[in-house]
Structure 1
């Protein structure tokens, strides 16, 4: 059994869904504790099957029994304990995906988890939350829904455009420059973005830069790649600035960072 696994959606679905990942302790006999998850600029729809998972965010502790949960943007590391006979399947949604549903105002919702009624989910088919649920069935439901959403919304909204501009500039762009590009005032951009994501544009950029630096550290040999190299490559002012920002999120330094404690994305 692989505790951590990843599954990828169709190309058209990728516009709104980054991937699906799974934490599987369904045949385990003991508690898996003190595992960590890092912020990545995405929302998560979590499906808990079996017993329960305990999650500690920077603001609260949540005991998540079987059911469906909406996980907001996270700005700090999250600690996870998974009970035996428990599986957690997580649909990772891009930062702009919730902006397709403007009735949701997420301005004051970050580092938080909310249990949701499955009848409120927009998918046409019912998602199985049982311990023996089939990941291929879930992939079909997710692909069908978001492919249709993409087809019916060919024009990108302002939140998706903001995120696209940030990516095109490798996270090296100011709010002022984004505003000029979209011909929208900085103030209006900030209000729209925070309402849709719970983050300021600057927070979002910082999270993306941080995750890029972590991925680079994990997938490189730090004996050959210095912290200065990582800092400069990811456009931090210097090594000290990089270390400070790294400690803000992980509460540890890059040198003492132990990747084995974390659930980290696989290199695609």
Structure 2
């Protein structure tokens, strides 16, 4: 049995959903403990079945029994313990997806997890939903959402600017969008829980980690990775890396983490 797996949504749905990933210990007889997850600039909607999981964020410890949970943006690594006979199916939502539902103010909601009722979701899912039905359900809903909203709102535009240029400043974004920096900052934090600067830092960090994991470090030095990902130098990169992982790039063990598969 494969503990970690990834499942991909339709091209149109990818505007709002990055992917679905599963942690499957449903036929396991032993506790899987001390696995780690890194921040990636996304929200997560988690469906837990079975005996449950324990999650340690930088703010709190969460005992997640069977149910549906909304996970905020994470700014540090998260530790996960998965009970035997347990499966977690996780929908990874892009940072701007929640801005499509303006009644939610997430300005003070980071490194946190909240249990929710299925009736609170805009699409209908059940706890024991299989992956094929889940993909069908969310593709239908988010494709319709995309069709109904062909124009990007300011949060999605900000994220697009950052994705295409991680060195872009808030002042440059505000000039392009013809909006004040203060207003953009307030809107972005209310929609994501993050400042624009923090969001940029998280994306840069994950990009560098993915590059470290997928590159041959014998051929690519830490300095090259640091400069490629727009850090000032190797020391700056190591400092930011330690802020999130509490270890150095040289001591980083990918096998301890649930990391994205290379697509």
TM-score bracket for the superposition, by shorter chain length:
over 0.9
In 2: Cα distance, 1:50 partner to 1:148 partner? 32
Could you say which residue in structure 2 is the equivalent of 1:49? 49
Q: How is 1:45-84 mapped onto 2 (pairs within 5 angstroms)?
A: 45-84=45-84
Q: Which runs of 5+ in 2 are unaligned?
A: none
In 2: Cα distance, 1:128 partner to 1:30 partner? 26
Cα shift at 1:224: 1.4
| Residues 1:229 and 2:224 aligned together | yes
Could you tell me whether the CA contact under 8 Å between 2:3 and 2:25 is conserved in 1? yes
Could you say which residue in structure 2 is the equivalent of 1:16? 16
Could you say which residue in structure 1 is the equivalent of 2:210? 215
In 1: Cα distance, 2:12 partner to 2:234 partner? 39
| Residues 1:195 and 2:193 aligned together | no
1:22-56 Cα shifts (integer Å, max 9, x gaps) = 00000000000000000000000000011110000
Q: How is 1:116-195 mapped onto 2 (pairs within 5 angstroms)?
A: 116-123=116-123, 125=124, 127-130=125-128, 133-169=129-165, 171-195=166-190
In 1: Cα distance, 2:217 partner to 2:79 partner? 25
TM-score by length of 2: 0.99
Cα shift at 1:65: 0.3
Could you tell me whether the CA contact under 8 Å between 2:118 and 2:126 is conserved in 1? no
In 2: Cα distance, 1:157 partner to 1:11 partner? 19
| Residues 1:251 and 2:251 aligned together | no
Cα shift at 1:172: 1.2
Q: Which 4+ runs in 1 deviate beyond 3 A?
A: none
In 2: Cα distance, 1:266 partner to 1:227 partner? 21
CA RMSD of aligned residues (A): 0.6
Could you say which residue in structure 1 is the equivalent of 2:199? 204
1:181-213 Cα shifts (integer Å, max 9, x gaps) = 111111000000000000000000000000000
In 2: Cα distance, 1:235 partner to 1:165 partner? 16
SS, match of residue 139 in structure 1: helix
Q: Which runs of 5+ in 1 are unaligned?
A: none
